[in-house]
Amino acid sequence: MHIIVYLIPIAISFGLIGLGAFIWSVNSGQYEDLDGAAFRILDDEDVPLSGDRRG
Amino acid sequence: MTAAALDPELGCPSGLAPASRDHAEDFSAFVKSKGNENTLLLSIRGAKCGGCLKKIEQSILKLPGVSSARLNLSNGKLDVRWQGSLTAREISGTLTALGYGVSAFGEDTAQRAAKSEERSLLIAMGVAGFAAANIMLLSVSVWGGHGEMGEDTRTALHLLSGIIALPVLLFSGQHFFKSAWSVLRTGHANMDVPISLALVLAFGVSVWETLNGGQNAYFDASVMLLFFLLIGRFLDARLRRMAHAAAHDLAALQNRSVTRVAADGTTEAVPAGEILEGDTLMLSAGERAAVDLQITKGFSTVDESIVSGESEPRSAGPGATLYAGSINLDQQIEGRALGTSSDSLLSDISNMLEAGEQKRARYRKIADKAVSLYIPFVHSVAALTFVGWLILGASPREAILVAVATLIITCPCALALAAPVAQVVASGRLFKNGVYLRSGDALERLAETDHIIFDKTGTLTLGEPVLSTASVDHDSIKQAASLARASRHPLSRALVVAAGSGKVADNVSEHPGLGLEAIVDGEACRLGSADWIGAPATPSSGLSLWFRKGDNPPVQFEFEDQLRSEASDTLSQLAKRGYTFEVLSGDRSSAVQQAADALSISNWSAGVSPQQKAARLNELQQQGKTTLMIGDGLNDAGALSMAHASLAPGGAIDVSQSASDAVYSGGLDAIPTILAVAKRARTVMKQNFALAAGYNLIAVPIAVTGHVTPLIAAIAMSVSSIIVTLNALRISSGGT
């Protein structure tokens, strides 16, 4: 049972890492432009402007 | 410019927004320079899809010296950074040439505050979610080990839960504590009072129980409560911020540079906000007036459709008044400012918008009504439980435990989620149909309407004149179009549309208020008004242009603003559902009558000013009608914000879009769907409140009799929240 002395802090610190990442992402503006981000990922810079007509 | 305006590649490639035909304006007064680097924040109108993003960013990056250009598709903000001699006018010129509307980006303090509130709610929600998950991890082992787990282990796990819960309650709970404290000081109560009380008592009792080695600690319940409540609060804040954009967008229209002429004749660019009464301003062709002007020099034709809804441009010369928002079409003019930009017609409308917003803030939502019933109920039940148990001989410790369990289990998780979840699901469903909802409570107001008021130009009609005479031979149209291509007059454009592609005649000269003249094939050609052409003055009901080549007999082109093809179907569908109609237009009475007759609407008025429109809406409201206003022009903005609920088509100018509750793309046929979804959303919201009330009917007896354990509290809270959410999801499917 003594193992929980180690396991619980480890579990919580993993949670804290996730929480830290979330707070960082909010403060650095990752959620500022959800509409644009959805399109940017499809934007392939190698192809010249052919995607322009797409809806 | 005329030919370019017809280019299908202009504007948003997805067709979600119409291409803008604005003239490039000068924003040099808004450029911020830091060392070598210049920064300009612009607000782009009409960018709706990924194609726009690419088109705009790549074109700006191609300009010399530009180091970065980033467009935010959600709010239309374009951030351009560059070095060197590039001017702001070249940047805005590139954007207008692509077919987008441009204004300087300005964010007011209220909007910035709303944004930072939303952000802090999101972080608070994340922190509460983290804590809820981790405490639940510990709680599950306590519940699972019930009877087997030693007291020391249980106390240790409780302590650990308390250590996680304390900072989280202090951090994430402050939204509720602050608001509760501020209303308590004024001697009132809101939803945050029972919430704060439940949080504080649940935590306090749990600490007490943990220190005394008790079995029941409510750390998990208090943090989970906080998490669910913050979800509801966040969704609400988000919808509210989107709705608040109205005043801001209007301000953006005024965020421009204007050209001021000094006494010695030199010109300088100044922000529109700095104009003083009596300043002389220069307005080049295609520019929009930022303040009300009295023309002092030059003749031109002005397009006032945005201000008055009048579809025919009028000519204006020295002495004439030009209202802010109207566009100078063909010649450079100079005028004296009749006031500052804060007392222009534009800001009159802005004041109307504010008044409308305040009126809407007073609207009592279903959720508000539910809360006002709920607060006294919960508090008296908890207090009675405490007193009752004391009377029946329980110790104060037992009595407090049962009262706190009652307070926790009746706490309004389901109540806090009931409305926001339904609103989010309904707006998602409408979004799929090309409808953008601007506020959550708009659904409730839309569902209540019974009387629909339409604007004519651009709403019931296409908003653009279309050549209607079939008798004119194609050669004449082609020849006339070669002159018309040199002009940005709406009728000239319509003529060019009818003619298709072709060349511009050489040396076309434009005579303000009269027409166009050029030599084609050695013969003098004129396109313009009947008098000027020398044609017999025949009374014409609609819009017309005359064309004459040399000594040939003059040819008349007639234009009309056609009704949208789906208008009559949509209206008869709505009439079947019991809606009544009215047309309120700023256009000439003949044009309005024609449209109203075609749609068999008997109740219409023409030549109505923006103020009269708003007044008419108030009048209808006082007669007890719940009004739905549908309109697209600047002249409708006031009326849109005064109406009980309002809609604007996607082609509407931004101010009207922000003044309305929802914006629909496509045609009028979206309206029956919007109203049906709104009604369905309202039904689901009411069901949700009924479910929350039903849940309390079952939970309260269990809690009052002292049978609630932390496990039951956790299950009851999550089950009620899930049921409410699942019920709301029904909006996304099912018939209209």
Of B243, B267, B283, which closes a domain?
A: B243
Contact B51 A11 (CB under 8 A): no
| Total domains present in chain B | 6
Are B150 and B182 within one domain?
A: yes
B502 is a domain residue: yes
B159 is a domain residue: yes
Mode of pairing for the β-strands spanning B451-454 and B580-584: parallel
B689 is a domain residue: no
Residue B19 pLDDT more than 70? no
- The DSSP call for residue B486 is T
Sequence-distant (≥ 6) Cβ neighbours of residue B259 within 8 angstroms: B26, B267, B268, B269, B281, B282, B283, B284
Are B447 and B523 within one domain?
A: no
Of B82, B105, B128, which closes a domain?
A: B105
Lowest mean pLDDT among B48-62, B74-88, B296-310, B387-401: B296-310
The interface residues of chain B toward chain A in range 15-44, judged by CB-CB distance below 8 A, are 15
Structure-model confidence comparison of residues B486 and B302, the more confident one: B302
CB contacts of B15 in chain A (<8 Å) are 55
Question: pLDDT class for A53, splitting at 50, 70, 90?
Answer: very low
With CA atoms as reference, report the closest residue to B178 among B193, B200, B199, B194: B193
B466 vs B18, B490, B507, B544, CA distance in Å? 17, 10, 26, 11
How much is the average pLDDT of B104-114?
72
B161 is a domain residue: yes
The pLDDT, as a whole number, for residue B132 is 92
The CA-CA-CA angle for residues B377, B382, B387, to 5°, reads 125
Question: pLDDT class for A54, splitting at 50, 70, 90?
Answer: very low
Instruction: Inform me whether the C-beta atom of residue B140 falls under 8 Å from chain A C-beta atoms.
Output: no
Q: H helices within B186-244, ranges in order?
A: 192-211, 219-243
Residue B24 pLDDT more than 80? no
What percent of chain B is modeled with pLDDT above 70?
A: 86
Are B267 and B343 within one domain?
A: yes
Are B377 and B473 within one domain?
A: no
CB contacts of A38 in chain B (<8 Å) are 50
Residue B165 pLDDT more than 90? yes
How much is the average pLDDT of B483-497?
77
B249 is a domain residue: no
Separation CA B68–CA B82 (nearest Å): 7
- The DSSP call for residue B392 is T
- What are B383-430's pLDDT values in tens digits? 899 999 999 988 888 888 888 888 888 776 777 788 888 888 887 788
B684 is a domain residue: no
Question: Which chain A residues touch B if contact means CB-CB below 8 Å?
Answer: 1, 8, 11-12, 15-16, 18-19, 22-23, 26-27, 31-36, 38-40, 42-43, 49, 51-55
The pLDDT, as a whole number, for residue B345 is 61
Are B447 and B574 within one domain?
A: yes
| B413-432 vs B670-704: helix crossing angle, rounded to 10 | 160
How much is the average pLDDT of B636-641?
84
Are B401 and B435 within one domain?
A: no
Question: pLDDT class for B301, splitting at 50, 70, 90?
Answer: confident
Contact indicator for B568, B599 with CB cutoff of 8 Å? yes
Nearest-neighbour CA in chain A from B55: distance (Å) = 7
Are B99 and B230 within one domain?
A: no
Residue A48 pLDDT more than 50? yes
CB contacts < 8 A (A, B): 77
Contact B53 A39 (CB under 8 A): yes
Q: Is the dihedral of CA A36, A41, A43, A46 positive or negative?
A: positive
Question: pLDDT class for B184, splitting at 50, 70, 90?
Answer: confident
Domain span at B124: 113-243
The pLDDT, as a whole number, for residue B615 is 87
Domain of residue B270, CATH code: 2.70.150.10
The pLDDT, as a whole number, for residue B306 is 65
Contact indicator for B290, B258 with CB cutoff of 8 Å? yes
How much is the average pLDDT of B137-166?
88
Q: What is the residue-averaged pLDDT of chain B?
A: 80
Are B402 and B448 within one domain?
A: no
Domain of residue B502, CATH code: 3.40.1110.10
Strand order in B314-316's β-sheet?
Answer: B314-316, B300-303, B327-328
Q: Which two tokens stand for residue B213?
A: 């080695």
Contact A36 B74 (CB under 8 A): yes
Q: Which two tokens stand for residue B296?
A: 């002092």
Are B258 and B283 within one domain?
A: yes
DSSP H or E segment with residue B381: helix B366-391
With CA atoms as reference, report the closest residue to B174 among B221, B235, B128: B128
Q: Which two tokens stand for residue A30?
A: 């990752």
Question: pLDDT class for B3, splitting at 50, 70, 90?
Answer: very low
Separation CA B642–CA A5 (nearest Å): 63
The pLDDT, as a whole number, for residue A51 is 47
CB contacts of B75 in chain A (<8 Å) are 33
Q: Which two tokens stand for residue B162?
A: 């308390």
Domain of residue B42, CATH code: 3.30.70.100
Report ipTM for this prediction.
0.78
Are B382 and B530 within one domain?
A: no
Of B80, B105, B130, which closes a domain?
A: B105
B353 is a domain residue: no
Contact indicator for B212, B231 with CB cutoff of 8 Å? no
Residue found under tokens 């995607």: A51
User: How many residues appear in chain B?
Assistant: 736
The interface residues of chain B toward chain A in range 118-137, judged by CB-CB distance below 8 A, are 119, 122-123, 126-127, 130, 133-134, 137
Contact indicator for B59, B98 with CB cutoff of 8 Å? yes
B272 is a domain residue: yes
Separation CA B214–CA B397 (nearest Å): 11
Strand order in B543-549's β-sheet?
Answer: B461-467, B555-563, B543-549, B523-528, B515-520, B509-511
Residue B257 phi, psi (nearest 5): -90, 145
Are B557 and B634 within one domain?
A: no
How much is the average pLDDT of B627-633?
88
The interface residues of chain B toward chain A in range 55-114, judged by CB-CB distance below 8 A, are 55, 58, 71-75
Are B170 and B188 within one domain?
A: yes
Separation CA B481–CA B547 (nearest Å): 10
Q: Ranked by mean pLDDT, which of B51-65, B302-316, B485-499, B543-557 comes out on top?
A: B51-65
